[in-house]
Structure 1
Amino acid sequence: MRLTRKLSWLSFLSLAISFLLAAQPVNAATTPYYGKDYAQPEKVLAQYPDTDITFDTPAFTSEGDAFTSQEEMISFLHQVDRSSDRVEMKIIGQSMEGRDIPALFFSTEKNKDAKSFKKKPTVWLDAQIHGNEPAAGESALVMAQKLTGDWGDALLRDINVIIVPRLNPDGSYAFTRQLANRLDGNRDHMKFDSPEVRAIHNLYNQYMPEVVIDAHEYGLGASEFADLGEEGALKYHDVLLLSGKNLNIPESIRTLSDDRFVETAHQALDEQGFSSDAYYTTSRNGEEIQIWEGGSDPRIGRNAFGLKPAISFLVETRGIGIGRENFQRRVAAQVATHTSLMETTAAHAAEVQKVVADARNGIVKKGKHASKDDTVVVQSKPTEVSGKTLTFMDIATAQPFDVPVRYFSSSNEQATLERVRPTAYILDPGQEEAVKRLQHAGVRVETLRKPTRVEVESYTVTSKKTAENSYEGYRLHTVQTEVAAKTKTFPAGSTIIYMDQVTANVAALAMEPESVDSYVTFGFLPAEEGDVLPVHRYLQSGKLK
């Protein structure tokens, strides 16, 4: 009897273990700070050799496969902090699981505060908001170390630098793209649901850097392009680079970003033996390959910072899912890109500071008076460019080859819905959910002190569609509205968002209901078909009381 029970228990245990093992991904290796789900053939690996640069940041000096741990990163940053009086380390917040988010401030100024930083343009470098993109985070550590040496001595005569090397410490530990709440931090720059994104914007809003570098990695697309060539194809380029593309980023900034910075970076990468192109995403329609140059959505870091406004860049290296393959080269390519962008800022410091200051002052000035010549681009779409090809890596031959594609350019984005910029938006009382998110974005809000009767434009919802599935925790609402003038008495306690402020374009895209990232879209402002929305457009000059 005992033997039978023992055998039955062993059989059950064996079955349970077999079930658990079968439930694990058979082609993936994942531990804290490490993951891999694709191995490149040796002949492809050989096309991406290590460079002759030696790095001694934690991922290169520690044993094992795991990338830099939280403890190793903090210890390394303390060493950097102690190595020079030009650097100061601060903890700017904690992740959802309680891990510290450190930042480093580099300047020749003794007091490394926001006021002292205004004397020079400031470059902001953040990394690893996606936890499974380790070369991005490691490159930030390399840059921090580099800034304490002779190169940093020369550079910091002309600029300041702020580095936030790991925005998503929980995802880095779990080696996942998402934050601990399983949402994407790089889609939270208008919602501000996560403490991580709130922390970095709180810091950014204090210093308002002129130049932003947002470091990432991208996947090789092995399964997506398995039908190309005899054995399939992989995405090819070492680096994908793109500036902010939202049309509400002032044109002067968008032009300087591409003409002065992006072209110089591509040239520097080519001279150092790295391949590069504009950042893109892909989709398939049968055999047709569609290439979408990185979009203009405000929710993405590159555009969110650009809208404040700033010269803003996304830097991506070819690395998601391949573990430590080509890791040294991936970090070297990131470092080469960051170095070029920082050196360009330093070489043209006065121009950078003036262009950004003029753009910010221009937004403030235009916000004082409504004009038909000054509009907010509420909706836009990319333009298809004919005759384009994209370079892939052929797995069978281990050689790059060009494939015809349909290419949709956000650099040539076209406005499809515009409205005259008001001098203020007025929110009915009770919209605290929207107000607090605006404040996280750095938008200044004021409160009406007494009842006031004024003429405004109000939105009436003419149609509303709610998505069946949730996106980043929300079922998105797509609305159409009619805007009509009316006279309305606003009670004391109504919220006023004046447009004569630097972050006015962020506020406008949050308030205009048809915007892809509006607070109506996410449900922070209530909207039902036939209703008048609780946000109104004020077009008169002067302040309300």
Structure 2
Amino acid sequence: MKKKIIALSVTGILALGVITPAASTALAVGNGPSYGGNESIQTSNLYTYDGMVEYLKKQDAKQDALQLEVIGQTVKKRDIYLAKYITDPSNPTVLFLTQQHGNEQLTTEGALEFIKHLGTNKTKGVLENVNILIVPMLNADGAMGDVNFSLEDYIADGGRHLTRYNAVGTDLNRDHVDKIQPETQALHENVLQKYDIDYMIDLHHQGTDYERDGKLVSGSMLYPTNENVKPEVLEKSQKLGAVVFNAVDSTGWGHIGKYNGGSGENIGRNGAAVQYDIATLLFEMRGMSDHEDPSRVIGQKSNGYLIKQTITTLDATVRAIADGSIETVDYSFWDTLATQTIRETE
């Protein structure tokens, strides 16, 4: 019999709704801002929180290897979900984290598609050798624009506005030392501290106009850069980056640069590496789903390949961990990978 969802500190399950471009919930209608009069992102084509929950539960019912766990709740009491594939606790474990920032959603779209992918024969033999944890849409309140601070800086078109911050205006990716927000507490207490995690990829979005070698980048990466990260953890992180770089940059449509990020322990990739000795990688996809700066907004035409880029990243990672090839991968490319000249805010 299929197991039931495990709930931690749950006050109740929210009402569910199926999200489709033709039949979206009221919170998901409307177009995002346009850039140059074209490529306007339609937030109605992205999963709402309720739509994501419905999707996860359907996959849970179909996949024997999948187990859903509620790890906590957001400020606005939305349950935060963890999708687990744990065949053998002694196997290496990888965590994929999406949408710490609510306006960076295409990585969540890709992660949900990857979950469906894990239920097919395409990954036969992989799940026996690696444990996979996926936290999609950590910042569900920001993803739904359900916030307690002013949105005057966002273009008011009457639709759903995805926001970087959580409901009380906190950047969750700056809360990994103090751990004040319930979303960050849930991630640390019920995932990072609960499971023996070897690798983590934190998936984000960045601006749209960065180049490497004269070509527009489709994303960028960075290992932990805090001075307190152990050398062996840093090496594992750089190997993790090599696996992703080799898989994505070789496609012809994916072009990866080195992210210009900070070294603070309060940032997720640094905090997890310092506090739990987890090999971490920040992966930044090109463009955002909604932003007060129109130049940073991805266009509808970009959605497909960016979602595919996420799936490629996750698939290559689990395969390399499962077959052990991550241990011997050449990571010397980091020495020559061009760094973005503009400092981003991961």
TM-score interval for Structure 1 and Structure 2 normalised by the shorter chain:
0.7 to 0.9
CA distance, structure 2, for counterparts of residue 245 and residue 276 of structure 1: 22
Displacement of 1:195 in angstroms is 0.3
Q: Is the 8 A contact 1:121 1:349 kept in 2?
A: no
CA distance, structure 1, for counterparts of residue 36 and residue 215 of structure 2: 12
Aligned twin of 2:200: 212
CA distance, structure 1, for counterparts of residue 54 and residue 121 of structure 2: 23
- Structural RMSD (CA): 3.1
Aligned twin of 1:326: 302
CA distance, structure 1, for counterparts of residue 299 and residue 99 of structure 2: 15
Q: Is the 8 A contact 1:35 1:323 kept in 2?
A: no
CA distance, structure 2, for counterparts of residue 163 and residue 133 of structure 1: 16
Aligned twin of 1:257: 237
Kindly provide the CA deviation profile for residues 408-462 of structure 1, in whole angstroms up to 9, marking residues without a partner as x. Answer: 9xxxxxxxxxxxxxxxxxxxxxxxxxxxxxxxxxxxxxxxxxxxxxxxxxxxxxx
Aligned twin of 1:201: 188
Displacement of 1:210 in angstroms is 0.4
Letter in 2 for 1:305: A
Letter in 2 for 1:342: V
Aligned twin of 2:323: 347
The percent identity for this pair of structures is 26
Aligned twin of 2:225: 245
Cα pair distance change 1:303/1:152, threshold 3 Å: same
Kindly provide the CA deviation profile for residues 468-507 of structure 1, in whole angstroms up to 9, marking residues without a partner as x. Answer: xxxxxxxxxxxxxxxxxxxxxxxxxxxxxxxxxxxxxxxx
Displacement of 1:139 in angstroms is 1.4
Displacement of 1:330 in angstroms is 1.0
Q: For 1:131, which of 102, 109, 115 is the aligned residue? A: 102
Q: For 1:142, which of 103, 113, 121 is the aligned residue? A: 113
Letter in 1 for 2:137: R
Q: How many residues align?
A: 283
The alignment status of 1:97 with 2:73, answered yes or no, reads no
Q: Is the 8 A contact 1:104 1:164 kept in 2?
A: yes
Q: Is the 8 A contact 2:240 2:281 kept in 1?
A: no
CA distance, structure 1, for counterparts of residue 65 and residue 93 of structure 2: 14
Q: For 1:36, which of 18, 29, 32 is the aligned residue? A: 32
Unaligned runs of 5+ in 2: 1-26, 146-161, 289-296, 329-334
Cα pair distance change 1:64/1:135, threshold 3 Å: closer
* Partner SS, residue 193 of structure 2: helix
Q: For 1:184, which of 171, 180, 184 is the aligned residue? A: 171
Displacement of 1:34 in angstroms is 6.6
Displacement of 1:74 in angstroms is 0.6
Displacement of 1:322 in angstroms is 2.6
Q: Is the 8 A contact 2:69 2:83 kept in 1?
A: yes
Aligned twin of 1:541: none
* Partner SS, residue 252 of structure 2: coil
The alignment status of 1:108 with 2:87, answered yes or no, reads yes
Q: TM-score, normalised by structure 1?
A: 0.48
Q: Is the 8 A contact 1:214 1:314 kept in 2?
A: yes
Q: TM-score, normalised by structure 2?
A: 0.73
Q: Is the 8 A contact 1:216 1:317 kept in 2?
A: yes
Cα pair distance change 1:195/1:334, threshold 3 Å: same
* Partner SS, residue 303 of structure 1: helix
Aligned twin of 1:396: none
Kindly provide the CA deviation profile for residues 28-74 of structure 1, in whole angstroms up to 9, marking residues without a partner as x. Answer: xxx647763342677xx7xxxxxxxxxxxxx9xxx973410111111
CA distance, structure 1, for counterparts of residue 71 and residue 243 of structure 2: 32
CA distance, structure 2, for counterparts of residue 121 and residue 388 of structure 1: 28
What are the residue-to-residue correspondences of 1:339-418 with 2, within 5 Å?
339-348=315-324
